[in-house]
Amino acid sequence: MSKVDAIRWFVGRQARNTRALLAEGIRLFPPLAGATLDVDDVRVVREALARRDDWAEGSTTARFEEEFSRWNGSRHAAAFLGGRVALSACVYALGLRPGDEVILPGYTCVVVANAFRFAGVVPVFADIELETYGLDAGSAARRITPRTRALLLHHLYGLVCRDYEALLDLARRHGLPVIEDCAQATGAVWQGEKVGNRGEMGFYSFEESKVMTTILGGMAVTGDDRLAARLREYQERAPTPAPERVESILRTALLDYYQLKHPKRWFFGDVAHLLHGKQRIVSTSQEEEQGTRPADYGQRMPSPIAALGRNQLAKVDRYNELRRQAALRWDRWCDEGGYRRPVVLEGSVPVFLRYPVMVSPEMKRDLSWAESSLGVSPGVWFTSPLHPAPSVVDDCPNADEAVRRCVNFPCLPGGT
């Protein structure tokens, strides 16, 4: 964009915002991404951008891993540039081989299936239940074959999954290692212990729409020393992202704060777009959606990104408490409107990354009802069984129904 075009764009945007302000007041919906970014994170990012000489040095990443493992109650933790990469490291650590089968929920992200496919492992999809949207133990049991080598369960929307114990039992009976996908449930607790520690391995995501964020980032954990050594092996071989990529990630954090969270984002969001917009990172490219392994896949987490992670981790408990309080509003909304609440297992403390509700397919297709009557723009995870890639899975009727009807409400307000 030339300077003149930039000014024209900015003036046009602000004129539109002013008209909206005069007509009805600008409506700022609570953000679905970047919701835990604050001024202190902006400070951390700006410091990192100013000190490029430190980018190659890994001690901040090691400290982040140490702090995360202590906070999470995990014996070992290894950071990567994405939850999907942390999962790939788990696949490597478990020694899964081409032709092996893994049981996965048929209601997940395409990048989860990809992490297995990139290693030649065959995903076999089982149905979910509609109480916590977790893997259904009965369906998983029916998918086990002599070639099954692992089982992946997930805790979606921050809820501890209904069949957690049943799935762990099922896997033990068949001698299968369990991977826990905690990408949406960082900090959720089951019987006094954070999720991710009951299976052989667990992983977490710090992508921009998750419980805490480094824009791109993830952590793999395990309680097993031998698996931890294999995780380290994968990590040591993982390339370091190029400085340009690190810079884009940091600038995306600034963009997210000013466009999604800042209380005057109708103004500062447009300024940030002019300053950093070209460098915005997207977490999943189209080629990755289609199942191609991107050239920059599988990287380690560099120190400037870990610095943001450490700052986020220090706030995550406070934010998760706010999320649980916000969920009470959606409980009341469900009760008043006759909608079914998501199930919170007795003995669990959820984190409510989002509050999932089944509405009619028409309501999922056109969300304006929520914008006008509730002042929120709901999320639509998932819009396909392997979100967001157009996909079908066989014989998973509950997953299909959730794709048609499940929307999710934000559980953190915008900046004030």
Ligand X SMILES: *Cc1c(COP(=O)(O)O)cnc(C)c1O
Query: Which residue ranges make up the site for ligand X (CB under 6 A)?
Result: 82-84, 108-109, 111-112, 154, 181, 183-184, 205, 207, 218, 283
- Between 108 and 235, CB nearer to ligand X: 108
CB 161 within 8 A of CB 132: yes
CB 151 within 8 A of CB 198: no
- Between 265 and 387, CB nearer to ligand X: 387
Token pair 């009341």 is found at: 332
- Between 65 and 207, CB nearer to ligand X: 207
Q: CA-CA distance, 251 to 208, in Å (whole number)? A: 12
Would you state the structure tokens that stand for residue 147, as one six-digit string? 């070639």
Closest separation between CB of residue 246 and ligand X, Å?
A: 16
Residue whose CB is nearest to ligand X in the complex, by number: 83
Q: What residue type is assigned to position 188 of the chain?
A: A
Closest separation between CB of residue 242 and ligand X, Å?
A: 19
Q: CA-CA distance, 211 to 343, in Å (whole number)? A: 19
Closest separation between CB of residue 10 and ligand X, Å?
A: 31
Q: CA-CA distance, 79 to 344, in Å (whole number)? A: 29
CB 199 within 8 A of CB 179: yes
Q: CA-CA distance, 416 to 351, in Å (whole number)? A: 22
- Between 227 and 305, CB nearer to ligand X: 305
Would you state the structure tokens that stand for residue 194, as one six-digit string? 């954070």
Q: Edge-to-edge, what's the strand order for the sheet holding 148-154?
A: 76-80, 218-222, 201-205, 178-181, 148-154, 101-105, 122-126
- Between 265 and 283, CB nearer to ligand X: 283
Closest separation between CB of residue 180 and ligand X, Å?
A: 11
Closest separation between CB of residue 285 and ligand X, Å?
A: 12
Would you state the structure tokens that stand for residue 172, as one six-digit string? 């033990």
- Between 111 and 403, CB nearer to ligand X: 111
- Between 109 and 130, CB nearer to ligand X: 109
- Between 220 and 327, CB nearer to ligand X: 220
Closest separation between CB of residue 416 and ligand X, Å?
A: 27
CB 208 within 8 A of CB 256: yes
Token pair 């996909």 is found at: 391
Closest separation between CB of residue 389 and ligand X, Å?
A: 13
Closest separation between CB of residue 6 and ligand X, Å?
A: 31
CA angle, residues 27, 31, 35, in degrees to nearest 5: 140
Name the E strands within 89-233.
Answer: 101-105, 108-109, 122-126, 148-154, 178-181, 189-190, 193-194, 201-205, 218-222
- Between 379 and 415, CB nearer to ligand X: 379
- Between 181 and 247, CB nearer to ligand X: 181
Token pair 């950071």 is found at: 79
Closest separation between CB of residue 216 and ligand X, Å?
A: 7
Closest separation between CB of residue 174 and ligand X, Å?
A: 23
Helix, strand, coil abundance in the chain, percent, nearest 5: 45, 15, 40
Q: Measured in Å, how far apart are the chain's first and last C-alpha atoms?
A: 32
DSSP, residue by residue, 204-230: EE-BTTSSS--BS-EEEEES-HHHHHH
